[in-house]
Amino acid sequence: MKLRRSMLFVPGDNAGGVSTAFVYKPDSVMFDLEDAVSPREKDSARLMVFQALRHPSWQDIETVVRINELNTEYGLKDLEVAVRGGADVVRLPKTETADDIHKLESEVARIEKECGRPLGETKLMAAIESASGVVNAVAIAVASPRMIGIAIAGFDYLVDMGTQRSDGLEPELFYARAAVLNAARAAHIDAFDVAYGDVEDDQGFLREVSIAKNLGFNGKSLIHPRQVSLLHKAYAPSAKELDYAKRIVAASEDAKRAGLGVISLDGKMVDRPVILNAEMIIKRAEAA
């Protein structure tokens, strides 16, 4: 039950961000070697990211590396750096089929074997950025036991759909959000909502966070450090939610001590998913 509310993008060629982004305390930091880095800076960005991954400052935070697509001249080079550097997770952009994950998994296993990392230690996540990716979301989500999450990339998806964001509830993203979220739940992995591009628009950002939270997303991709605390506060449970969650966990512990197989609270049956949700609510409250 890893807490993944915030996944902060850090351009791989941004020396300051790569060195210090952990101070903003996101749940995960994603070093971006793809779109955020120009072709002429790819090599230097890989070197900076590799050094960061090996530095002790990053040992207490989940590290994610977004590589370029494997069919580009940069993809395998990025992957070598990510796995050999010790990244916790590799994020594959523009994932459209389960075969994309199978190819990635095969290369990751090869590199782990070559560099001595335990087989299976490097986890995977997929970014869904097209109509094809949305249609194949379930197959992608269940493609590998290494998968820890699936994310929707709003801008690229809307370009593929031939539309753009509107104000309000953003109906143009609803189907994709629902499809990605349901795929994640079917695979028992995490789901990440789209990044919000206007870093000065706190109201718009929090409106979108509310949509993601109410739908059930575990968290959100972020493009600026100032969004981290806003997101964490928005995801913090209310006092009423926290109190009820604590009562559920307490009832569960009482039932275990009494050797009971059935848990009841306020006349209602409490099953395992409810207990897990209560534990996550408590975890969010403690983290906030």
d(CA 4, CA 90): 15
* Helix%, strand%, coil% for the chain, nearest 5: 55, 15, 30
Tell me, yes or no, whether 250 and 173 share the same domain: no
pTM score of the predicted model: 0.87
Q: What is the three-class DSSP state of 46?
A: helix
Q: Is residue 47 located within the same domain as residue 117?
A: yes
Judgement on whether residues 130 and 23 belong to the same structural domain of the protein: yes
Q: How many domains does the chain have?
A: 2
**Residues 86 and 175 reside in one and the same domain:** yes
For residues 151-187, one letter each, b for 16 or more C-beta atoms within 10 angstroms of the residue's C-beta and e for the rest, the string is bbbbebbbebeeeebeeeebeebeebbebbbbbbeeb
CB of 192 closer than 8 Å to CB of 4: yes
- CB 166, CB 174: distance < 8 Å: no
Domain that residue 271 falls in: 239-287
Q: Specify the DSSP element, H or E, that contains 19.
A: helix 15-20
Residue carrying the six token digits 């695979």: 187
Residues 215 and 253 in one domain: no
Q: Tens place of pLDDT for every residue, the chain, 288 residues? A: 689 999 999 999 999 999 999 999 999 999 999 999 999 999 999 999 999 999 998 888 999 999 999 999 999 999 999 999 999 999 999 999 999 999 999 999 999 999 999 999 999 999 999 999 999 999 999 999 999 999 999 889 999 999 988 876 678 999 999 999 999 999 999 999 999 989 999 999 999 999 999 999 999 999 999 999 999 999 998 888 888 888 888 888 887 887 777 787 887 778 887 888 888 888 888 887
